[in-house]
Structure 1
Amino acid sequence: MLKKIIAIKNVGRFRNSAATGNPQLAKHTFIAGANGYGKTTLCAVLRSLQTGDPAHILGRKTLGATDAPAIELLLEGGQARFDGTAWNATKPEIAIFDGVFVAENVHSGEVVDIEHKRNLYRVIVGDAGVTLAGQDAELAAESRAKTGEISTAGKAVQPHVPAGMKIDTFIALPETADIAAQIAAQARAVDALRQAGALRARPSLSEFVIPALPADLSDLLTRTIDDIAQDAERRLSAHLAAHGMTASGGNWIADGLGHADDTCPFCGQDIRGLPLIAAFRAVFSERYKALAEEIASMKASIARDMGDAALARLGTVAEQNNGNVEFWQKYCTIETPALTLPAEAVEAIRTLAVAAIGLLDRKAAVPLEPITPDEGFTAARGAYDSATAAIATANTAIRTANAVIADKKAAADAGDLKAAEAELARLTAIQTRHRADVSDLCATYTKLSGEKETIEARKEAVRKQLDAHTKTVVKPYERRINDYLAAFNAGFTITETKHAYPGGVATSSYQLVINETAVDLGDSKTPGDRPSFKNTLSAGDRTTLALAFFLAHLERDPAAAGKLVVFDDPFNSQDAFRRRQTVHEIMKVAGACAQVIVLSHDATFLKQVWDKSPAADRIALTIADHRAQGSKIMPVDLEHACRGRTATDIDDLQTYLTTGAGGLLDIVRKMRVVLETHCRTTYPGSFLANDWLGDMVRKIREGGATHPAQALYDEMDQINGYTSQYHHGEDMTDATPDQIDPSELTGFTRRTLRIANALQA
């Protein structure tokens, strides 16, 4: 319970609210004050006390004041002080119905926007729901913050992610031990597919053709001619030796025998019967000739197959293979060393050929004698065998390489270039993903993502609880709202009250029902030609709806019995019936809570509530303007303040303004009574008890800028001029209603109520 407002300094209009005779507050406390005198400031002070938020006060620091705001309140449990920066204590058990409640939870002006729906949701679900909604909002905020961190981490990873690949897919790529080799192989495969035409045209490797000695060399070297007499052979040899023709004389003789008949082709003598000629004929028989020719042919064959030209062809094949290997290694894995011509092979072939020709030369010299290979030939043959074995090994490797090349050509013809490029990109991405610097970035992203998943799981659990709680309260709350609307005689109800989570925050929504037609609330962007909250409810309807929300929430609050409930101008733009119903509802609240404070610009409204309050539990105060000293809170006698300004007068004026009901002349007269009473009670030091409206206007005019009511002069002067013609006629009974323009009267009635603070400015 708030027992006393000790002082409010440098806040709004309160330079120092303390005044002489500052009384303690009561269970039923009524505070009257004109608009702009400090009622809203007082609510801000109590809201700050409730929440502990100093912004409600600091934002209202008195302009021009040098000292910091300072507040002292006496609570039931001791003093609460605000030292300019913070409270020494707070009082959460406060509920306030004022413009802030309406603007935050119901509507702002004529519009219901998303923030109103979010705040109203908290009103609907009560403290238990608010706790859950708070947890949900905190988790949603954590999730959004974590999303921001993830976004930042993702931006660090993104430059390393291949085009077209999602970041989560990139991070999930598995590490591969031999990735570099796989990338190299796949790069070759991609290049092969891009060069498929060139691959088809490129020849495979050629095998080395190994030059070999004639297979019958050994047989030729050992061959003899059995029918050639040894004596003839001896005679021929001796003759050749005697004439120095061992090297080539045999050929000369053989040629000469072709021209010999019975005489010598050289001397012409008769040669018939000569033993030497017989020997020549035996030696150079056809068989002898054939052997010599075979020896010569084999020498030529060896020179052709194993000579320089043949060896040069081997070198050419080796060079061609080297060029092809260099090409194919771009696309295949080929072992280069195994494919080359052994370095010693050419020399081994050449040496063997020379050795073999040497043997044939020896055989040609003595065709009838067998020739046995010497050590030189045997050594050359061994080197040759080793070289040919190496060449055979190279040829085996060449055949293996050619199989790989054939497979590559077939794959290039049948391959999918796009798929191969995609695989190469994937492998390259794997290598990049597991590079040390990128791996650290991915680890950060993964860690943050895991934390977000944990937050989301917690949020989901809280939201399930919140949904379950909301389902138990929404419909009963909706029914109670409609009960209040019916009690206020409102011409509408609400329906389809439900909740959702737009933007991740719990939010309520509802529809209006007018003439049995559902109307969406709309928002600031709703076109003016579409029915919505802003064009289907009057100002009085909107106030009534807001009050119904507040009362329904308070009614369902399990802690209501210990609360201080504040009403700031709960009656506004209402007809007389709603005014009386508002009084009734306030009294119900007062009976159910620890303390009620009602603030109003309309003293007659406060008087109506005052009259229903127990005399021992009530007190009336006013916020009075003390010019340079600011507003001060001081006691007021509501009975005196409302004398002559009855609640009925105000009710009648407001009823006429709302419905047009009432006698026109009667309304004119009551306008003067209301204004006169307002001026006497608001400015008691400026007007006498017997001053009438004309006197008051004159005094304000004469007082000029220093008169406390100077701001009212223009309006009061016009209203006085308008009403006096009907109030001061010589015969008042001659005044007839048809002499009064209803439209003009409506305008002056509204201006009268606004001056008297009975209508919101």
Structure 2
Amino acid sequence: MLKKIISIKNVGRFYNSAASGNPQLAKYTFIAGANGYGKTTLCAVLRSMQTGDPSHVLGRKTLGVIDAPAIELLLDGGQARFDGTAWNVAKPEIAIFDGVFVAENVHSGEVVDIEHKRNLYRVIVGDAGVKLATQDAQLAAESRAKTGEISTAGKAIQPHLPAGMKLDTFIALPETTDIAAQIEAQARSVDALRQAGALRARPALSEYAIPVLPEDFTSLLVRTIDDIAQDAEQRLSTHLAAHGMTANGGNWIADGLGHADDTCPFCGQHIRGLPLIAAFRAVFSERYEALAGEIATMKAGIMRDMGDAALARLGTIAEQNSGGVEFWQKYCAIGATALAFPAEVVDAIHVLAAAAIGLLDRKAAVPLEPITPDEGFTAAHAAYDSAAAAIEAANTAIRAANVVIAEKKAAADAGDLKAAEAELDRLTAIQTRHRADVSDLCATYIKLSGEKNGIETRKEAIRKQLDAHTKTVVKPYELRINDYLVAFNAGFTITETKHAYPGGLATSSYQLVINNTAVDLGDSKTPGDRPSFKNTLSAGDRTTLALAFFLAHLERDSAVAGKLVVFDDPFNSQDAFRRRQTVHEIMKVAGKCAQVIVLSHDATFLKQVWDKSPAAERVALTIADHRAQGSKIMPVDLEHACRGRTATDIDDLQTYLTTGAGGLLDIIRKMRVVLETHCRTTYPGSFLANDWLGDMVRKIREGGDIHPAQALYDELDQINGYTSQYHHGENVADATPDQIDPSELTGFTRRTLRIVNALQA
């Protein structure tokens, strides 16, 4: 309970609210004050203490003063102080119905927007629902924040994604141990498909065919002529030795015998019957010549097959294969080393050929003697055999490579280039995905995504609870609101109250029902030619709806018994019936709560509630203008303030304005009484209790611009001039009824109600 407003300093019109006679507040507290004097400021102070939010006070800091706002209030539990930055205590047990409640929860101006729906949802679901909704909103905010972090992490990964691949697909790519080899192989396949025509025309590798020694090489070396006489051989050898012709004399003699008949081709002497000649003929017989021919022929064959020309052709094949290997390696997995031409082969062939020719030369020198291969030939043949084995190994590799090449040609002819390129992109993406720097980025993304999933899981659980709770309260809440609307004789109800989560936050929405027709609330973008909240409800209807929301919320508040409930001008723009119903509802609330404070610019309205309140539990205050000292909170006598005016004067003026009912002279009298009472209660220090309207107009005129009521002067002067011609003093008999123009009276009645803020919308 708020026991006393000790002081409000430097907030709004309150330089220092304290005044002499500052009373204790009561369970039923009534505070009168003109608009702009501080009622809204007082609500802001209470709202700041309720929420603990200093902005409600700081935003209303008195302009032109240096000192910070300072507030002292006396509560049941001690003093509450605001030191210019914060409250020393918070008091959440306060419910306030004022323009802020309406603007935050129901409508702003003529529009209901998404924020109103979100706030109204909290009004509907009560404290238990608010706790769940708060958790839901916090989780939704965490989810949005985490989404932002995930988005940032995703943008960091984006440059590493191949074209057309989604982020989640990229992150899910599995790590592969031999990815580099797979990429290399796939790159060759792609290149092969791109070069299908070139592959088709490119020949396979050629096998190497190295020359070999004749099969009868060794047998030729050991061959002899068995029928040649031994003495002929002896004679020939002796003769050749005697003439120094051992090295090549045999060939010379063999050639000469072709020209010897019966005479010597050298000296012309007869040679028939000479024993030496017979020996010559025996040695160089046809068989001898044939043997020598075979030797020469074999030598020539070896020189041909193992000579430079033959080896050059072998080198050409090696070069062609080398180029082929370089080409096919781009498309096939073939090893260049195994396919290379063995470097030792050429030397081995050269050495073997030379050794073989050396042996044949020795044989040619003594055809009749067997020649045994020497160690040089044996070593050369062993080296040749090793080189031949290397050649066979290379040929084996060439045959295997040619199988791969044939398969690649066939695959290139039948392959799908786009599919192969896509697979290469996928493999490359795998390699990139698991590169250290990118892997760290993906790990961060996965971590953040996991955290967001956890938030979403918790939010889903909270939302299920919130949905279940909402379903139990929305329909009863709608029914109670409609009960209040009926009690206020509103002429409309609401329906289809439901909740949703636009933008991830819980909201409530509803439809109006007017003349049995459902009308959507609409928003600021709703066209003016479409029925909606802004063009189907009057100002009085909107106030009534907001009050119904507030009252229904209080009714469902299990903690209402301990609350301070504040009403600030709860009847704005309402007709007489609704004003009376508002009084009734305030009294019902007061009976359930710890304390009720009613603020109003209309002292008569306050007196209506005052009259129904227990005398021992009520107090009346006023917010008075003390010129340079600002507004002060002071005691007020509502009975005195409302003297000369019945509680229904304004109601009668409103009825006449609406229906034309009422006596014309009576309406004129009540116009003056309403204005006089308004001026006395609104500006208590400016007028005396026995001042009539004419006196008040004169005092305002004489006070000039500094008079507090100067803004009302023109209107009051005109209304006084109009009413005084029919109503001099208080003698109704002085008036002439048939001189009154109803249309003119209607206009002045409207202007009167506008001055006292009682004009029904």
TM-score range, shorter chain: over 0.9
Query: 1:517 — aligned with what?
Result: 517
Single out whichever of 463-472 and 218-227 deviates more from structure 2: 218-227
SS state at 1:205 partner: coil
Query: 1:585 — aligned with what?
Result: 585
Single out whichever of 439-448 and 250-259 deviates more from structure 2: 250-259
Q: Aligned partners of 1:663, 1:259: CA distance in 2, in Å?
A: 180
Are residues 757 and 375 of structure 1, via their aligned partners in 2, closer, same or farther at CA, if it must alter by over 3 Å? Answer: closer
8 Å Cα contact 1:122/1:130 also seen in 2: yes
SS state at 2:648 partner: helix
The amino acid that maps onto 2:756 is A
Query: 2:55 — aligned with what?
Result: 55
Pair 1:402-2:402 in alignment:
yes
Kindly state the Cα deviation for residue 310 of structure 1 after the two structures are TM-superposed: 1.4
Query: 1:550 — aligned with what?
Result: 550
8 Å Cα contact 1:726/1:735 also seen in 2: no
Query: 2:434 — aligned with what?
Result: 434
SS state at 1:735 partner: helix
The amino acid that maps onto 1:121 is Y
Q: Counterparts in 2 of 1:475-490, with a 5 A limit?
A: 475-490=475-490
Q: TM-score, normalised by structure 1?
A: 0.92
Single out whichever of 22-31 and 272-281 deviates more from structure 2: 272-281
| Deviation by residue 1:596-637 (Cα, 9 ceiling, x = unmatched) | 111111111111111222222222211111111111111222
Are residues 568 and 351 of structure 1, via their aligned partners in 2, closer, same or farther at CA, if it must alter by over 3 Å? Answer: same
Kindly state the Cα deviation for residue 270 of structure 1 after the two structures are TM-superposed: 7.7
| Deviation by residue 1:21-80 (Cα, 9 ceiling, x = unmatched) | 222122111111111111111111111121121111111111122222122222222222
Structure 2 unaligned segments of length 5 or more: list them. Answer: none
Pair 1:344-2:347 in alignment:
no
| Deviation by residue 1:271-315 (Cα, 9 ceiling, x = unmatched) | 777766666666555544443332222111101111111122233
Kindly state the Cα deviation for residue 759 of structure 1 after the two structures are TM-superposed: 4.2
Are residues 369 and 680 of structure 1, via their aligned partners in 2, closer, same or farther at CA, if it must alter by over 3 Å? Answer: closer
Q: Counterparts in 2 of 1:324-723, with a 5 A limit?
A: 324-658=324-658, 661-662=661-662, 666-723=666-723
User: RMSD of aligned C-alpha atoms?
Assistant: 2.9
The amino acid that maps onto 1:476 is P
Kindly state the Cα deviation for residue 261 of structure 1 after the two structures are TM-superposed: 7.0
The amino acid that maps onto 1:173 is L
Kindly state the Cα deviation for residue 343 of structure 1 after the two structures are TM-superposed: 3.1
Query: 1:735 — aligned with what?
Result: 738
Q: Aligned partners of 2:660, 2:454: CA distance in 1, in Å?
A: 63
Single out whichever of 536-545 and 15-24 deviates more from structure 2: 15-24
Kindly state the Cα deviation for residue 572 of structure 1 after the two structures are TM-superposed: 1.2
The amino acid that maps onto 2:4 is K
8 Å Cα contact 1:575/1:658 also seen in 2: no
| Deviation by residue 1:397-434 (Cα, 9 ceiling, x = unmatched) | 33333333334444444443333333333333333333
Kindly state the Cα deviation for residue 439 of structure 1 after the two structures are TM-superposed: 3.2
Percent identity over the alignment? 88
Kindly state the Cα deviation for residue 109 of structure 1 after the two structures are TM-superposed: 0.7
Kindly state the Cα deviation for residue 568 of structure 1 after the two structures are TM-superposed: 0.7
Kindly state the Cα deviation for residue 756 of structure 1 after the two structures are TM-superposed: 2.0
Single out whichever of 481-490 and 83-92 deviates more from structure 2: 83-92
Query: 2:160 — aligned with what?
Result: 160
Single out whichever of 79-88 and 268-277 deviates more from structure 2: 268-277
SS state at 1:15 partner: strand
SS state at 2:14 partner: coil
Q: Aligned partners of 2:6, 2:147: CA distance in 1, in Å?
A: 49
Are residues 71 and 148 of structure 1, via their aligned partners in 2, closer, same or farther at CA, if it must alter by over 3 Å? Answer: same
SS state at 2:616 partner: helix
Kindly state the Cα deviation for residue 118 of structure 1 after the two structures are TM-superposed: 0.4
Query: 1:320 — aligned with what?
Result: 320
Single out whichever of 214-223 and 322-331 deviates more from structure 2: 322-331
Query: 1:139 — aligned with what?
Result: 139
Kindly state the Cα deviation for residue 437 of structure 1 after the two structures are TM-superposed: 3.3
Q: Aligned partners of 1:748, 1:240: CA distance in 2, in Å?
A: 171
8 Å Cα contact 2:574/2:758 also seen in 1: no
Q: Counterparts in 2 of 1:163-242, with a 5 A limit?
A: 163-226=163-226, 228-230=228-230
Kindly state the Cα deviation for residue 727 of structure 1 after the two structures are TM-superposed: 4.4
The amino acid that maps onto 1:95 is A
Single out whichever of 471-480 and 609-618 deviates more from structure 2: 609-618
8 Å Cα contact 1:665/1:736 also seen in 2: no
SS state at 1:619 partner: strand
Are residues 684 and 306 of structure 1, via their aligned partners in 2, closer, same or farther at CA, if it must alter by over 3 Å? Answer: closer
Number of residue pairs matched by the alignment: 758
8 Å Cα contact 2:492/2:514 also seen in 1: yes
Are residues 679 and 373 of structure 1, via their aligned partners in 2, closer, same or farther at CA, if it must alter by over 3 Å? Answer: closer
| Deviation by residue 1:236-288 (Cα, 9 ceiling, x = unmatched) | 66666666666666566666666777777778888777766666666555544
Structure 1 unaligned segments of length 5 or more: list them. Answer: none
| Deviation by residue 1:678-724 (Cα, 9 ceiling, x = unmatched) | 22343445444554333332332222123232121112123233444
Single out whichever of 271-280 and 201-210 deviates more from structure 2: 271-280
Kindly state the Cα deviation for residue 353 of structure 1 after the two structures are TM-superposed: 1.1
Are residues 686 and 346 of structure 1, via their aligned partners in 2, closer, same or farther at CA, if it must alter by over 3 Å? Answer: closer
Are residues 225 and 4 of structure 1, via their aligned partners in 2, closer, same or farther at CA, if it must alter by over 3 Å? Answer: same
The amino acid that maps onto 1:354 is A
SS state at 2:518 partner: strand
The amino acid that maps onto 1:740 is P
| Deviation by residue 1:329-352 (Cα, 9 ceiling, x = unmatched) | 344444333333333322221121
Q: Aligned partners of 1:93, 1:659: CA distance in 2, in Å?
A: 43
Kindly state the Cα deviation for residue 116 of structure 1 after the two structures are TM-superposed: 0.4
Query: 1:14 — aligned with what?
Result: 14
Q: Aligned partners of 1:697, 1:685: CA distance in 2, in Å?
A: 15
Single out whichever of 272-281 and 164-173 deviates more from structure 2: 272-281
| Deviation by residue 1:559-585 (Cα, 9 ceiling, x = unmatched) | 111111111111111111111111111
Q: Aligned partners of 1:427, 1:749: CA distance in 2, in Å?
A: 88
Q: Counterparts in 2 of 1:90-101, with a 5 A limit?
A: 90-101=90-101
Q: Aligned partners of 2:87, 2:658: CA distance in 1, in Å?
A: 44
Q: Aligned partners of 2:659, 2:393: CA distance in 1, in Å?
A: 117
Are residues 658 and 445 of structure 1, via their aligned partners in 2, closer, same or farther at CA, if it must alter by over 3 Å? Answer: farther
The amino acid that maps onto 2:602 is D
Q: Aligned partners of 1:471, 1:140: CA distance in 2, in Å?
A: 21
8 Å Cα contact 1:34/1:757 also seen in 2: no
